[in-house]
Amino acid sequence: MQALRPVPRTLLRDRACAAIRDAIVAGEIEPGTVVRDAELAERLGLSRAPVREAFARLVDEGLLESKPQSYTRVTALVAADVRDAAAVVGAMHELVTRVAVPRLRERDLAEMRAANERFATAVRTGDVDEALRADDDLHHVLVRVSGNRAAAATVARYTPLIRRLERQRFGEGGSCRSAGLHERLIEACAAADPDGAVQVTAGIWRTLADLADAD
């Protein structure tokens, strides 16, 4: 029985935060919806404390807004917020790409290629969840190989704001990022060309900024 230890509060908070974040990004909890810790705690099978802690983090991430003693609700999807997030996340991806490209090994490139194959298939079949997971997996290779924890934390914090808009556009019949751009990124990485890889990365994130301006 020594393997059974109390689950740390931080882990419960993280689980609650991830579950609520995913529901907001997926649109299962719509913009403007008032969320209550007691209700979500019951649905998640947790106490109210980790849910309240998760609320605080999601307010900081911009997915929730709170008025003390009044309400906590899901924020509206604001194009300017998405543009700002895309600019920050894009800059971080450019940074990690420049650092990571000289360090990439063949197994890293194989991981990126496999993720892009999953991405292309998901876009073709309209599977938005798998498309976004595959996209995350592809770019995470560069984040991981760079070893820049500050950049990784910034990407993790602001990417959900962008994902909300991508999911909405995808649901309206739009398209996600291009598998072709991913292919160009992988080719530049395989050629050990950091300048080329950064240029493609910048293009990928420009498309997201443009997405925020689309009506």
Is it true that domain 79-213 has CATH number 1.20.120.530?
yes
* 4 has a pLDDT exceeding 70: no
The whole-number pLDDT of residue 138 equals 96
For residues 126-140, average pLDDT? 91
Provide the residue ranges of all domains of the chain, joining segments of one domain with +.
Answer: 9-74, 79-213
Q: Write out pLDDT tens, residues 142-194.
A: 999 999 999 999 999 999 998 888 887 766 555 555 778 999 999 999 999 99
Q: What angle do CA 161, 135, 120 make, to 5 degrees?
A: 130
The whole-number pLDDT of residue 189 equals 98
Q: Write out pLDDT tens, residues 5-23.
A: 665 666 888 899 999 999 9
For residues 91-101, average pLDDT? 98
For residues 90-116, average pLDDT? 97
The whole-number pLDDT of residue 29 equals 92
For residues 78-95, average pLDDT? 92
- What is the architecture of the domain spanning 9-74? Orthogonal Bundle (1.10)
Rounded to 10 degrees, the C-alpha dihedral 103/106/107/109 comes to 80
**Distance from C-alpha of 39 to C-alpha of 105, rounded to nearest angstrom:** 47
